[in-house]
């Protein structure tokens, strides 16, 4: 048993050290990017065009407000809503709000978000050609049906596209329906941890594109082909890799954001994260193409490869090592005894303090930044969320193992995230 314990502890410490080193790098690069971020362009020029694509399935609760918000923020933008075979009033409400609605019917409909976006892309390209849009200056924004852009989103995104090789820009995500513990933790996860990681990845031009708040240059999408989005469960991640393979850079607009609804039940959160992790794992084979492509800088290939392999080779082993290691520490701490590690006696309190620093310090540091960047979050509440996030991560761990099981069983079906009716106050904050 001693040998097994030592092996578990060694793996746990190795993964803890890796995660801590990654955090230090992310925090240094991310905060540096946040300090540098600014707005150099305050309005659309005559050659700039925004076209928004929104793929929808039974989204009558939110789609009307989303289209209205977009039309108010960017009056000259074209909003294309792809009604993917809805059985409610999604298409009707989107059209009434000013969107161009493209309807898909079964059996072609409901085949995934990627095919729905590709269908809308055909309409987008036709409109762009008819009106003589410059594909280099036409920005295609992809939002979820509940996505709401921050007031400064347009100038922040345009500022990033001033670099001619930038093919995609991603906005950080915020959660606006923070009525439950789960929703508040998702906001901490997205606006705290994930946002800083995305900002850090600006250094390597390998920012991950998301399904909400995703912006791409029309010329970059056309370089992929007539159907730039794939059938993958994570079509957004796959799109980012395809752009990278063609030499486009991926960036992040650090000072703006897109808000969305948070998932309010553990079951729905587990289902959502399972789909994300399954898609992420299935995209891992793209790492080889990154190294073989002459268009991809080695630094970009390295960072993206680490990101693609993290669920399988970091998170899953970590979930085992962390759980067993924590259980051993707690069991030994009950008697305040020494822990036998590698033939030596380690004081349990000293080891627990060391474990605490490596495990909890990164989210606590992130919490201080999260509190400063959030209008309605205090420092104490943010630090408490940081401690809770270590255990909240078990949802992601469970989703990762569930995703692996689905891959082994050959299951590729998906189920969309259901929206909830939002109170007027949350809608006002989003606006």
pLDDT tens sequence across 42-99: 566 767 899 999 999 999 999 999 999 999 999 999 999 999 999 999 999 999 999 9
Q: Which string of DSSP letters, residue by residue, matches 233-278?
A: TTHHHHHHHHHHHTT-EEEE-TT--EEEPPP-SHHHHHHHHHHHHH
Residue 290 pLDDT greater than 70, yes or no: yes
3-state helix, strand, coil in the chain (%, to 5): 55, 15, 30
CATH code, 160: 3.90.550.10
pLDDT value, residue 102: 96
Q: Looking at 63-77, 162-176, 312-326, which range is the least confident one?
A: 312-326
Q: Are the beta carbons of 421 and 61 closer than 8 angstroms?
A: yes
For residue 70, being part of any structural domain is answered with yes
Number of domains in the chain: 1
Mean pLDDT for 414-418 is 74
Q: Which string of b and e fits 246-271 if b means at least 16 CB within 10 Å?
A: eebbbbbbbbbbbbbbbbbeeebbbb
Looking at per-residue pLDDT, the higher value among 415 and 240 belongs to 240
Residue written as tokens 């080695």?
Answer: 298
Mean pLDDT for 11-24 is 74
| 338-341 vs 344-347, strand pairing mode | antiparallel
The closest of 83, 85, 108 to 93, measured between CA atoms, is 83
- pLDDT confidence band for 121 (50 / 70 / 90): very high
pLDDT value, residue 48: 85
Q: Looking at 213-217, 327-331, 386-390, which range is the least confident one?
A: 327-331
For residue 199, being part of any structural domain is answered with yes
Distance CA 306, CA 15 (A): 14
pLDDT value, residue 428: 47
- pLDDT confidence band for 331 (50 / 70 / 90): low
For residue 122, being part of any structural domain is answered with yes
Residue 405 pLDDT greater than 60, yes or no: yes
For residue 257, being part of any structural domain is answered with yes
Mean pLDDT for 311-324 is 82
pLDDT value, residue 64: 95
CA distances from 311 to 276, 398, 403 (A): 10, 12, 10
For residue 204, being part of any structural domain is answered with yes
Residue 355 pLDDT greater than 80, yes or no: no
Boundaries of domain holding 46: 38-264
CA distances from 368 to 28, 218, 302, 316, 371 (A): 14, 38, 30, 28, 5
The closest of 256, 92, 287 to 159, measured between CA atoms, is 256
- Tell me if residue 53 falls in helix, strand or coil: strand
For residue 28, being part of any structural domain is answered with no
Please give the share of the chain, as a percent, with pLDDT higher than 90. Answer: 63
For residue 153, being part of any structural domain is answered with yes
For residue 308, being part of any structural domain is answered with no
pLDDT tens sequence across 129-168: 999 999 999 999 999 999 999 999 999 999 999 889 999 9
pLDDT tens sequence across 182-202: 999 999 999 988 999 999 999
């Amino acid at each position: 048993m001693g040998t097994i314990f030592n092996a578990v502890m060694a793996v746990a410490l190795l993964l803890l050290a890796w995660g801590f080193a990654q955090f230090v790098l992310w925090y240094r690069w991310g905060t540096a990017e946040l300090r540098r971020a600014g707005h150099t362009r305050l309005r659309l020029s005559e050659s700039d065009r925004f076209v928004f694509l929104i793929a929808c399935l039974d989204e009558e609760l939110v789609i009307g407000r989303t289209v209205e918000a977009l039309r108010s923020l960017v009056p000259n933008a074209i909003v294309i809503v792809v009604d993917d075979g809805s059985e409610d009033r999604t298409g009707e409400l989107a059209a009434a709000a000013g969107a161009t609605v493209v309807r898909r019917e079964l059996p072609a409909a409901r085949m995934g978000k990627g095919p729905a976006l590709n269908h809308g892309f055909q309409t987008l390209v036709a409109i762009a050609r008819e009106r003589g849009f410059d594909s280099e200056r036409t920005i295609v924004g992809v939002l979820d049906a509940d996505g709401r852009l921050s007031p400064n989103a347009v100038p922040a995104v345009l500022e990033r596209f001033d670099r001619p090789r930038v093919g995609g820009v991603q906005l950080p995500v915020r959660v606006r329906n923070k009525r439950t513990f789960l929703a508040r933790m998702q906001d901490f996860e997205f606006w705290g941890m994930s946002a800083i990681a995305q900002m850090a990845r600006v250094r390597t031009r390998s920012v991950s594109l998301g399904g909400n708040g995703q912006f791409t240059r029309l010329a970059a999408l056309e370089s992929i082909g007539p159907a730039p989005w794939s059938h993958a469960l994570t079509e957004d991640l796959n799109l980012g890799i395809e752009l990278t393979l063609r030499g486009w850079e991926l960036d992040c607009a650090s000072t703006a954001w897109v808000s969305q609804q948070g998932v309010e039940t553990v079951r729905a959160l587990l289902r959502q994260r399972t789909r994300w992790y399954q898609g992420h794992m299935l995209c891992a084979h793209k790492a080889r193409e990154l190294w073989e492509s002459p268009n991809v800088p080695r630094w970009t290939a390295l960072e993206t490869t680490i990101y693609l392999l993290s669920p399988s080779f970091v998170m899953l082993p970590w979930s085992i090592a962390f759980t067993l290691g924590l259980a051993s520490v707690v069991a030994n701490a009950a008697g305040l005894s020494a822990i036998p590690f590698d033939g030596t006696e380690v004081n349990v309190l000293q080891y627990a303090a060391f474990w605490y620093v490596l495990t909890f310090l990164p989210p606590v540091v992130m919490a201080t930044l999260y509190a400063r960047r959030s209008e309605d979050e205090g420092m104490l509440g943010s630090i408490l969320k940081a401690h809770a996030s270590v255990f909240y991560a078990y949802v992601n761990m469970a989703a990762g193992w569930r995703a692996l099981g689905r891959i082994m069983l050959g299951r590729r079906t998906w189920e969309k995230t259901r929206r909830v009716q939002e109170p007027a106050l949350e809608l006002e904050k989003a606006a």
